[in-house]
């Protein structure tokens, strides 16, 4: 049996690693002989089989091929319809995890308990869906760990570094950046910031537009009219993008599927860099945001570590080099280090100090004594980046006479402006009658190691209180019975 197993369930690629008896992690290849498995699922129409990986990615039926399901893990309404059956993102992910489990256990032994990585800014529903996916695939999740944390654990292990490290993870779908402190095998996370919808597939889309424009110029017709052909060209643009990480210029030819002729594409690295420049500027903003939130300057960072396939783009490295005045390092294979770090984390989780991923608070009228102004605002009780586990309180006053019910809205988000945060729940507390305004109410939030949040509201005068777990319970979360049923169903499926 493989005791310490880590899985990187990526948007584009997924990988599994286990800890060898010598304490070093190793990637376990799948049955197709690949170290990483494309996170793509294909539902065959002839045979009752689900293909996962390269075979699925390279097949030709877009209606039956699911790419990048991870982008929807937090969307309770996203369902994939195949032959009338509706699949949730968790179920599609479970198919990918099933393949990894089945294939890899042939090499490293039975896999029952795993650590799975998630983007640092994955919300509660996305985290729950990930855990559900693993359970459906017949594995117990020992812990979820943030992807940049896992990468840093691997980096610290393999390079023996010390000091403040900034991990820059630019993958296929997202950008994550984390700052942490490494001292021996103790790791302290300082902060994480992420950007959804900022990654390699955005670059592919931008290139696709350029290809289509060239095609129209040269032939006067559209490069693609259906999804199947769009996919094909998209694959070609991704290949061209990768070539441009090595070469200054690539030549390509493209055709549509209507015999409208062939167009020559001539593309230089400089042109490509100009096309993605706006996206890259966003990455600079995000890195600055991470540093600002912990009051650090570029010179305070000792090492910049590259993670994710898109950091192979030379411009990305140059940008970071310019920003930090030092050459960014990569820990071996940039697409494997998250899985490798997760396997290490499975054993060492106790030595890693994490922080709150978001701020929690409540809506309150905030009175400014200087200006006399009163406005509704997000009042933060527990700020993002507070080391966990932790607990914080804030005392408020009621603003009306004779209030019988105190309602506390629970907010998530850093913005003071209530328009830009999420109200994720509410606590209602009944209080005794006939009280004047100005009664004190204490609101306490506590945060445990698993990023679970609890909120407690206490009416100081009467001592009445109410405590709730601040968690996502709405649509998209399966009941334990339903989870068991689907898990049994999945185990009987042919997945290759």
Ligand X SMILES: Nc1ncnc2c1ncn2[C@@H]1O[C@H](COP(=O)(O)OP(=O)(O)O)[C@@H](O)[C@H]1O
| Window 167-186: contact mask with Mg ion (x via CB under 5 A) | ----x---------------
The string of DSSP codes covering 160-215 is: ---EEEEEEEE-SS-EEEEEEEEETTEEEEEEEEEETT-SHHHHHHHHHHHHHHHH
Does the protein bind ligand X through residue 336 (CB under 6 A)?
A: no
Does the protein bind other proteins through residue 464 (CB under 8 A)?
A: no
Question: Residue 433: helix, strand or coil by DSSP?
Answer: coil
Using CB under 8 A as the binding rule, the residues of this chain from 270 to 329 that contact other proteins are 277-278, 280-282, 284-286, 288-289, 292, 319, 322
| Binding-site member from 262, 270, 365, 488 for other proteins (CB under 8 A) | 365
Sign of the four-CA dihedral 412, 414, 418, 421: negative
The Cα–Cα gap between 361 and 274 comes to 41
The Cα–Cα gap between 28 and 102 comes to 11
User: Which candidate, 11, 5, 48, places its Cα nearest to that of 27?
Assistant: 5
Using CB under 6 A as the binding rule, the residues of this chain from 237 to 266 that contact ligand X are 238, 241-242, 245
H-run or E-run covering 361: strand 360-367
| Binding-site member from 253, 259, 299, 368 for other proteins (CB under 8 A) | 368
| Binding-site member from 2, 11, 28, 66 for ligand X (CB under 6 A) | 11
Interface stretch with Mg ion, choices 5-13, 93-101, 229-237, 364-372 (CB under 5 A): 5-13
Does the protein bind ligand X through residue 335 (CB under 6 A)?
A: yes
Sign of the four-CA dihedral 279, 285, 287, 289: negative
Using CB under 5 A as the binding rule, the residues of this chain from 139 to 158 that contact Mg ion are none
Does the protein bind other proteins through residue 366 (CB under 8 A)?
A: yes
Peptide bond between residue 389 and the one before it cis (omega within 30 degrees of 0): yes
Exposure b/e, 391-430, CB count within 10 A at least 16 = b: ebebebebeeeebeebebbbbbbbeeebeebeebbebebe
The Cα–Cα gap between 493 and 101 comes to 14
Smallest separation (angstroms) from Mg ion to the CB of 333: 12
Tokens of 99: 């393949």
Does the protein bind other proteins through residue 376 (CB under 8 A)?
A: yes
| Binding-site member from 2, 5, 6, 10 for ligand X (CB under 6 A) | 10
Whether the CB-CB separation of 18 and 5 falls below 8 Å is answered with yes
Interface stretch with Mg ion, choices 164-172, 224-232, 347-355, 461-469 (CB under 5 A): 164-172
Smallest separation (angstroms) from other proteins to the CB of 334: 21
Does the protein bind Mg ion through residue 38 (CB under 5 A)?
A: no
Does the protein bind other proteins through residue 69 (CB under 8 A)?
A: no
Smallest separation (angstroms) from other proteins to the CB of 370: 8
Residues forming the site for other proteins (CB under 8 A): 74-75, 77, 121, 195-197, 277-278, 280-282, 284-286, 288-289, 292, 319, 322, 362-369, 374, 376, 379, 394-400, 403, 405-409, 413-415, 417-420, 423, 425-426, 428, 441, 443
């Amino acid at each position: 049996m493989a005791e310490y197993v880590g899985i990187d369930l990526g948007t584009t690629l997924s990988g599994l690693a286990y800890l060898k008896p010598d304490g070093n992690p190793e990637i376990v290849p799948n049955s197709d002989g690949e170290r990483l498995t494309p996170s793509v699922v294909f539902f065959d129409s002839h045979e009752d089989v689900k293909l996962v990986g390269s075979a699925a990615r390279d097949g030709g039926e877009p209606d039956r091929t699911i790419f990048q399901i991870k982008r929807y893990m937090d969307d309770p309404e996203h369902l994939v319809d195949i032959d009338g059956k509706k699949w949730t993102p968790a179920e599609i992910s479970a198919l990918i995890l099933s393949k990894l489990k089945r294939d890899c256990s042939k090499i490293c032994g039975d896999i029952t308990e795993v650590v799975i990585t998630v983007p640092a800014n994955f919300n509660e529903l996305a985290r729950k869906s990930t855990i559900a996916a693993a359970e459906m695939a017949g594995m117990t999740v020992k812990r979820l760990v943030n992807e940049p944390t896992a990468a840093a654990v691997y980096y610290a292990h393999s390079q023996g570094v010390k000091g403040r490290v900034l991990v820059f993870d630019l993958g296929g779908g997202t950008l994550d950046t984390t700052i942490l402190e490494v001292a021996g095998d103790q790791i302290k996370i300082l902060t994480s910031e992420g950007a959804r919808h900022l990654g390699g597939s955005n670059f592919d889309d931008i290139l696709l537009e350029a290809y289509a424009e060239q095609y129209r110029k040269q032939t006067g017709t559209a490069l693609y009219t259906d999804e199947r052909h769009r996919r094909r060209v998209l694959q070609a643009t991704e290949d061209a993008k990768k070539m441009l990480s090595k070469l200054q210029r690539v030549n390509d030819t493209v055709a549509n599927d209507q015999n409208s002729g062939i167009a020559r594409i001539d593309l230089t690295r400089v042109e490509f860099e100009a096309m993605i420049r706006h996206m890259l500027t966003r990455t600079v903003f995000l890195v600055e945001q991470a540093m600002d939130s912990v009051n650090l300057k570029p010179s305070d960072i000792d090492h910049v570590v590259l993670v994710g396939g898109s950091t192979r783009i030379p411009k990305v490295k140059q940008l970071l080099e310019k920003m930090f005045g030092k050459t960014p390092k990569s820990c071996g294979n940039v697409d494997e280090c998250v899985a490798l770090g997760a396997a290490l984390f499975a054993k060492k989780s106790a030595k890693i100090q994490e922080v709150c991923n978001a701020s929690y608070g409540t809506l309150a009228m905030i009175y400014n004594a200087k200006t006399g102004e009163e406005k509704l605002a997000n009042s933060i009780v527990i700020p993002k980046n507070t080391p966990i586990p932790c607990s914080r309180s804030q005392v408020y006053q009621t603003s009306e006479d004779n209030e019988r019910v105190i309602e506390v809205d629970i907010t998530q988000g850093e913005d003071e402006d209530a328009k830009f945060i999420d109200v994720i729940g509410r606590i209602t507390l009944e209080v005794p009658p006939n009280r004047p305004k100005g009664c004190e109410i204490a609101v306490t939030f506590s945060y445990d190691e698993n990023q679970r949040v609890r909120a407690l509201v206490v009416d100081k005068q009467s001592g009445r209180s109410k405590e709730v777990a601040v968690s996502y319970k709405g649509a998209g979360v399966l009941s334990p019975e339903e989870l068991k049923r689907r898990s049994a169903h999945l185990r009987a499926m042919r997945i290759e």
